[in-house]
Amino acid sequence: MSILEVRKLTKQFGGLTALNNISFKVKEGEIHGLIGPNGAGKSTVFKNIAGFYTPTKGEIVYQGKKISGNQPHIIAKMGIVRTFQETTLFQEMTVFENVLMGSLAKSDINLFSAILGLDKQQQKAAREKVLEVLEFMGLTDRKNQLASELPLGSQRTLAISIALASEPKLMLMDEPFAGMNMEETNHMMDLTRKVQESGITIVLVEHDMKAVMGLCHFLTVLNFGHLLAEGTPEEIRHNEQVIEAYLGGAK
Amino acid sequence: MELILQSIVNGLIQGGFFALFAVGLVLIFGVMGVVNFAHGELVMVGAYTVWVLHAQNGVPFIPVVMIAIIVVTAIGLLMERFLFRPTCNDPLAGLICSIGILFILQVLATVVGGDGPSKQVPPPYHGTLVLFDFLHVPYQRVFSFFISAAGLGTLWYFLTRTKFGWALRAVAQDREASALQGININRISMIAIGVGAALAGLAGALMAPLANINPHMGHNVIITAFIVTIVGGVGSLSGAVMAAVIYAMFHTFITVYFGGVIATICGLLLMVVVLIIKPTGIMGVKVSE
Amino acid sequence: MKIIIRLRKIIALIILLAGLIVLPHYLEFHYQDLLIFLIVNVLVVASYRIVTLTGEWSLIHAVMMGVGAYTAALLFKNYNAAMWFTLPLAGGAAALTAALLSFPLFRMTQFYFLIGSFAAGEAIRLTWMQFIFPFGGSGGLSGIEPPIIGSIDFMDPIPYYYLALGVVLICLFILYRIENSKIGMTLHAIHWKAPLAESVGVDTWRYRALAFIIGSFFVGIAGALKIHYLGTITPNQFGIGFMVFILIWVIVGGYKTIYGPLIGVVVLTIFDESVRGFGELRPAIYGGVLIISILFLPLGLESIYPKILTWCGIGSNSSDGPPP
């Protein structure tokens, strides 16, 4: 059962074709890897799914419904949340507030209940949810620290916590392992698995091959905006074209 | 028909002035990222210089125009060195500083000229050029038009044919990359504001015999410059020149038929419409991500 | 510890309030006038803060105040409407204008928004100037009066001061509640990282528009409060000149906390009075102060307060801000 389907996705910027006729399916409950050399168009795929870009051609189908062309916040409300490549947090808020933002973001604006303080119940539920997420991600000890004061590893964990607090069904993770040392990478791999085991489908863009091969159930390989190969990590590892692209292109 | 032709000619001449000060604003914004709110006041200082030296003290017009350019350029350079450079990381701070300068220059003008009615400068060139029996263009306006055109031509030559002009355009496109290329950003900023201020001074000096001179004349100038800049495309000099001419015609026509205030309202609405439809302006290019 | 801090805040608040209530009785007539305008301007900057929370600097706030003021003036002149009626309607008219303008304006951000808001504001202001009927043209309208209830004539500064103080305090309380609610937090979040906020489901356009509408509502009320006391209204009262003053108050005061702009408007109004003797030089002194504060005090006057505390040895507990 596929939760997300990318159908013949093409994205052009002016005359430049960043993505050319890409199709793949993401199975519900799996960790799906999206890999490829630099400039292959992985992040562009993400931005199309999350609604930051509109596809030039083709469509993106989520739970049987076409979602491409919608704005990011609408897609987020449907249950697709992305994390960012560079560490993107609300730097001047505390860890707790960051996650609270994630949990409150989807709820509607009600000016009068905000002024009169009638949304206590909702606020309380949101706060409990935040504590739960922080506990799950192991950030409870740091909840009153400012986001900008956290070490890199914890900042990444926080970014995922924010996404998690908005109760997504599908999480798009953009290079969560970039710049991490061995220990941090292992910790992040455990967390990613934990998130997946809690029932959330994950699409992962990543360069760290060890992490990708260890985590993903299925891989899609892109090269220069084209679909190069698909398969399980084992199949991809032995795929001639993929080896060629990585060895020939990057180094 | 005659009225239309006359309006086109008047609009064209007006467009020359608009282009002179709008181009300066674009240049400063492009290179330094600062919206210079005091740009209208630079024009005002140029006009006051002419009033003080030419109308009050009888110094001949041409040297006075030169002096006006020098005075205004000096003010611009001081602003760059002591205000915009220290605040270059925060565009808002630069804008606020320029508002501070706006106040100071207005008060300075009041001190120099008093707070009475607007000043007039008698036109140094008399007589009217008559074309095809019905087009009447005072020589003063003809003269101003050719000088503005020459000013813009010089700018064009400077930007496209000289090393500094090339460096200046590079900085406007990408500040960081230019710094990495070894371009001295501070010096380029000095040049940008120097050139921008010089053009504002020239515009002020040329307008002096044709306009009401008072400490608050900068207000209309800055509104016009904003409209022209936005319509032409922020960061596009040729767009600004084109928009200046188009807007001047537009403004002249509506003024003839409906009055000046309505013309300005329409101009502002035009600008909002352009912002909605094509925020990058008519000549702006969309930056691809 | 928390209770002590809270208690200290409440006591400070009570002292401040008591001070505000007795203050006009110790002032000359001229200063009583000034106090009323100061109270109104407090509401102007407090409402502007809501708009700037998302990080966009609008240049239309002064004109929105004018929309409220003109609404109140026209209602009074044409229908002799009571002030209880004109105040909320003034706010409503400004909010409605803001709602309509938010469609074009919030397609832009940053520099474009700044210029776009300026242009839209000037277009509205020039409309007041152009149309003698009903706006009175550049001469504006006059004879707008405050109410008379029983034996209290609000034309007197002291009763009107209490009226304005009451209205402004209620408005400030509501604004404070909004900033400290989920809405305020979301606005902060949009300021820091709009794409992140969007990616977890925040409709940034709606929140930007909402902040703009709320800010305009309250500044509309401020406009009505001002005009009922002043009695005359002209388009030039709400021009770029006044807008610049709003910016100065906010920036010199500091815009990181809710108190900064309030400190700014109070301190600069007192400063403005103290340089009254300089006559026509006053704007230049203002300009100079503005430049100096930007260059040497970029975080505003509010940033001095924790420093003073540290100097006095009271401690560097920065979480305990100054009383509102």
Residue B227, min C-alpha distance to chain A (Å): 28
Q: How many CA atoms lie within 13 A of B105 on its CB side?
A: 29
pLDDT digit string, tens, across residues C273-319:
888 778 778 888 888 888 888 888 777 777 777 777 666 655 444 44
Residue B87 phi/psi, 5-degree rounding, is -110, 20
Q: CA dist C213 to A138, B20, C60, C67, C217, Å?
A: 40, 38, 12, 13, 6
Contact at CB, B93 and C298, closer than 8 angstroms: yes
Give the span between the Cα atoms of A180 and A154, in whole angstroms. Answer: 11
**Percent of chain A beyond pLDDT 70?**
96
pLDDT at A216 over 80: yes
Q: Are strands A218-223 and A31-35 parallel, antiparallel or unpaired?
A: parallel
Residue B31, min C-alpha distance to chain C (Å): 15
The per-residue pLDDT for C314 is 55
Does residue B28 fall inside a structural domain?
yes
Residue A35, min C-alpha distance to chain C (Å): 22
Does residue B203 fall inside a structural domain?
yes
Contacts of A56 in chain B (CB under 8 A): none
Starting at the edge strand that comes first in sequence, how are the strands of the sheet with A226-231 ordered? A80-82, A170-174, A201-205, A31-35, A218-223, A226-231
Using CB atoms, pick whichever of C119, C123, C127 lies closest to residue B226.
Answer: C119
Mean pLDDT for the stretch of residues A90-100: 87
Does residue B135 fall inside a structural domain?
yes
Residue of C nearest to A120 (CA): C181
Neighbours, chain B (3 or more CB pairs < 8 A): A, C
Does residue B182 fall inside a structural domain?
yes
Contact at CB, C195 and A97, closer than 8 angstroms: no
Contacts of A100 in chain C (CB under 8 A): 185
Is the Cα torsion angle C46, C47, C53, C58 positive or negative in sign? negative
Neighbours, chain A (3 or more CB pairs < 8 A): B, C
Does residue B31 fall inside a structural domain?
yes
pLDDT digit string, tens, across residues C69-112:
999 999 999 888 888 889 999 999 999 999 999 988 888 777 77
Residue of B nearest to A14 (CA): B288
B269-273, C215-219, C250-254, C263-267: range with highest mean pLDDT: C215-219
Q: CA dist C31 to A177, B111, B272, C20, C35, Å?
A: 64, 28, 42, 13, 6
* Domain around B121: 16-218
Tokens of C232: 């005359």
CB proximity C201 to A under 8 Å? yes
Please return the burial class of C40, using the count of CB atoms within 10 Å of its CB with bins 0-12, 13-18 and 19+: buried
Using CB atoms, pick whichever of B91, B96, B230 lies closest to residue C247.
Answer: B96
Does residue B88 fall inside a structural domain?
yes
Mutation to test the C interface, candidates A101, A118, A166, most C Cβ within 10 Å? A101
Residue B222, min C-alpha distance to chain C (Å): 11
Tokens of C117: 């808001």
The residue among B82, B229, B72, B203 whose CA lies nearest residue B148 is B203
Please return the burial class of B160, using the count of CB atoms within 10 Å of its CB with bins 0-12, 13-18 and 19+: exposed
Please return the burial class of A1, using the count of CB atoms within 10 Å of its CB with bins 0-12, 13-18 and 19+: exposed
Containing B66, the helix (H) or strand (E) segment is helix B61-79
Q: CA dist C183 to C206, C209, C213, C249, Å?
A: 11, 12, 13, 24
Residues C107, C208: contact at Cβ < 8 Å?
Answer: no
pLDDT digit string, tens, across residues B213-262:
888 888 888 888 888 888 887 667 788 888 898 899 888 888 888 888 88
The residue with greater pLDDT, B200 or B287, is B200
pLDDT digit string, tens, across residues A220-230:
998 888 888 89
CB proximity A13 to B under 8 Å? yes
Does residue B123 fall inside a structural domain?
yes
Please return the burial class of C264, using the count of CB atoms within 10 Å of its CB with bins 0-12, 13-18 and 19+: buried
pLDDT digit string, tens, across residues B37-94:
899 999 999 999 999 998 888 889 889 999 999 999 999 999 998 888 888 777 778 8
> pTM of this prediction?
0.84
Contact at CB, C189 and A90, closer than 8 angstroms: yes
The per-residue pLDDT for C316 is 43
Neighbours, chain C (3 or more CB pairs < 8 A): A, B
Residue B26, min C-alpha distance to chain C (Å): 13
Tell me the three state secondary structure of residue B74.
helix
Using CB atoms, pick whichever of A105, A116, A119 lies closest to residue C197.
Answer: A105
The per-residue pLDDT for B97 is 87
Is the Cα torsion angle C166, C170, C175, C181 positive or negative in sign? positive
Contact at CB, C195 and A84, closer than 8 angstroms: yes
Rounded to the nearest integer, the mean pLDDT of chain A is 86
Mean pLDDT for the stretch of residues A101-112: 78
Residue A106, min C-alpha distance to chain B (Å): 28
CB proximity C153 to A under 8 Å? no
Does residue B124 fall inside a structural domain?
yes
Q: CA dist B12 to B6, B9, B142, Å?
A: 10, 5, 11
CB proximity C9 to A under 8 Å? no
ω into residue C104 within 30 of 0, thus cis?
no
Q: Total domain count for chain B?
A: 1
DSSP states of chain A: -EEEEEEEEEEEETTEEEEEEEEEEEETTSEEEEE-STTSSHHHHHHHHTTSS--SEEEEEETTEE-TTS-HHHHHHHTEEE--SS----TTSBHHHHHHHHHHTTSPP-HHHHHHTTTHHHHHHHHHHHHHHHHHHT-GGGTTSBGGGS-HHHHHHHHHHHHHHT--SEEEEE-TTTT--HHHHHHHHHHHHHHHHTT-EEEEE-S-HHHHHHH-SEEEEEETTEEEEEE-HHHHHT-HHHHHHIIIII-
Chain B residues at the C interface, defined by Cβ less than 8 Å, are 29, 35, 83, 86-87, 90-93, 96-97, 99-104, 106-108, 110-111, 115, 219, 223, 226-227, 229-230, 234, 259, 261-262, 264-265, 268-269, 271-272, 275-276, 279
The per-residue pLDDT for B275 is 76
Tell me the three state secondary structure of residue B26.
helix
Residue C186, min C-alpha distance to chain A (Å): 7
Q: How many CA atoms lie within 13 A of A206 on its CB side?
A: 27
Residue B272, min C-alpha distance to chain C (Å): 6
Contacts of A13 in chain B (CB under 8 A): 288-289
Residue A82 phi/psi, 5-degree rounding, is -110, 150
The per-residue pLDDT for C274 is 82
Tokens of B283: 């000549």
In sequence order, what are the residues at sequence separation of 6 or more whose Cβ sits closer than 8 angstroms to the Cβ of residue B254? B262, B263, B266
Per-position b or e across B44-64, b if 16+ CB within 10 A of its CB: bbbbbbbbbbbbeeeeebeeb
pLDDT digit string, tens, across residues B96-137:
888 889 989 999 998 888 877 888 888 888 777 877 777 778
Residues B232, B243: contact at Cβ < 8 Å?
Answer: yes
Residue B288's pLDDT band (cuts 50, 70, 90): very low
Contacts of A95 in chain C (CB under 8 A): none
The per-residue pLDDT for C66 is 96
